[in-house]
Amino acid sequence: MKAADRRRLRRARMSALGLSPALGSPAAPASALEVVHHLGALQAQDYQSGVWSLGVRSGLTLAEVEEAVLRREIVRTWPMRGTLHWVAAEDARWMTRLLAGRVLGSIGARYRQLGLTEREVATAGRLFEEHLHEPMSRPDVAALLARAGIDASGQRAYHLVGHHCMTGLLCQGPLIGKQPSFVLIDAWVPLSRNPTREEGLALVAERYVRGHGPVTEGDLANWVGGTLTLAREALGQLGDRIVKEEVDGQTWLTHVDAPAPSGAPDAVHLLPQWDELLLGYRSRDVTLPDEHTARVVPGRNMVFQPTVVVDGEVAGIWKRRAANGATMVEVTPLTRPTARARRGIEASGAAYGRFLGHDVDVRITGED
């Protein structure tokens, strides 16, 4: 792909993803619900990364994001691909019903490895129905299972609660201390949308294209954990709301209402681990140069590092260290940063500090 085409695609994606420009700012923040509705869902495997994924797009603070969870506007659950996401609370039921079944049908081998039986899965479900009318912390859920004679060691408890989140019985509630909690979705989210299958597919496809485009059919199939046939069925519901463009022999899809990219070409972002910028697509070639893949995904094992993004392209990695109430962000550039990029990194670190509610010390390796 020509460099100019690649640059144009990634700038369009940055705009669609609510990053350049952001959907909100500290002066006029977007709500967490607006961000989730815009993108459809956001990766949230790691809690601290997941809340920053909302914060960097909205201008909200960590406390404000967590208030949205307490107000039951957004929830963290397993709607697709067996992966934790932020979704709108009103969408959690139908999204899991529509998309999670493919994963449930494919994890029998993992359950056999763990020694989980169908009887234990069913018994756990009955226990959850009886006891999780209020949020219960993960350790307390494990203790509940153990009291009923179910081995909750290792990954067994995690898979049992994950299974029943994917069936739509449970979702995550707010943190209890530093622990995630689980609660019956009927108790936590009493009201929901109830679209038909066709309406649900159309909603998923439209939100995905609007919040991630330009994308391919394969990108959508990968995002929902489905087949190309399912992706094409979903896209077929949208008619002329999708604009098609041929670039480098590939058909790219953009929402008809997608704004023209208007972010600064040299914009810098400190993005969290597993952000939609990288995980929201089947191929990451538009954003992540191949020569940097080994640094961003050591071992190519899907464990992504938090990234420094300059003009929509990964240009570094970073890590956070917290001690004695202070936070240090250590940035490792993958290419020599310009003076403007260094200033952008400092500004992004300050924005992260506003999100956390305290100052952040930014250190760029090789700058001393």
Tens of pLDDT, residue by residue over 97-109, are: 999 988 988 888 8
Report the pLDDT averaged over residues 207-233: 97
Report the pLDDT averaged over residues 123-142: 97
User: DSSP secondary-structure letter at 59?
Assistant: -
Compute the CA torsion angle 31, 34, 39, 40 (nearest 10 deg).
Answer: 120
pLDDT classification of 233: cutoffs 50, 70, 90: very high
- The CA distance from 52 to 59, in Å, is 10
Describe the strand order of the beta sheet including 326-333 as a list of residue ranges.
268-271, 307-310, 313-323, 326-333, 360-364
- The CA distance from 283 to 35, in Å, is 23
- The CA distance from 89 to 358, in Å, is 29
- Please determine, for residue 123, whether its predicted confidence score (pLDDT) is greater than 70: yes
Where is pLDDT greater, at 182 or 102?
182
Report the pLDDT averaged over residues 201-208: 98
CA max distance for the chain: 61
Chain-centre distance of CA 299, in angstroms?
Answer: 21
According to the model, what pLDDT value does residue 367 have? 60
Mean pLDDT of the chain: 94
- The CA distance from 285 to 300, in Å, is 14
- Written as one letter, the residue type at 166 is M
Report the pLDDT averaged over residues 47-63: 97
According to the model, what pLDDT value does residue 180 have? 96
The model's pLDDT over 303-356, given as tens digits with 9 standing for 90+, comes to: 899 999 999 999 999 999 987 778 999 999 999 999 999 999 999 999 999 999
Report the pLDDT averaged over residues 19-48: 96
According to the model, what pLDDT value does residue 263 have? 74
Please give the radius of gyration of the chain, using alpha carbons only, rounded to the nearest integer: 21
- Please determine, for residue 18, whether its predicted confidence score (pLDDT) is greater than 80: yes
According to the model, what pLDDT value does residue 191 have? 81
What element of type H or E holds 157?
Answer: helix 156-166
Bridge partners (DSSP) of residue 308 are: 270, 316
Bridge partners (DSSP) of residue 269 are: 309
According to the model, what pLDDT value does residue 133 have? 98
Q: Which two tokens stand for residue 309?
A: 């993004």
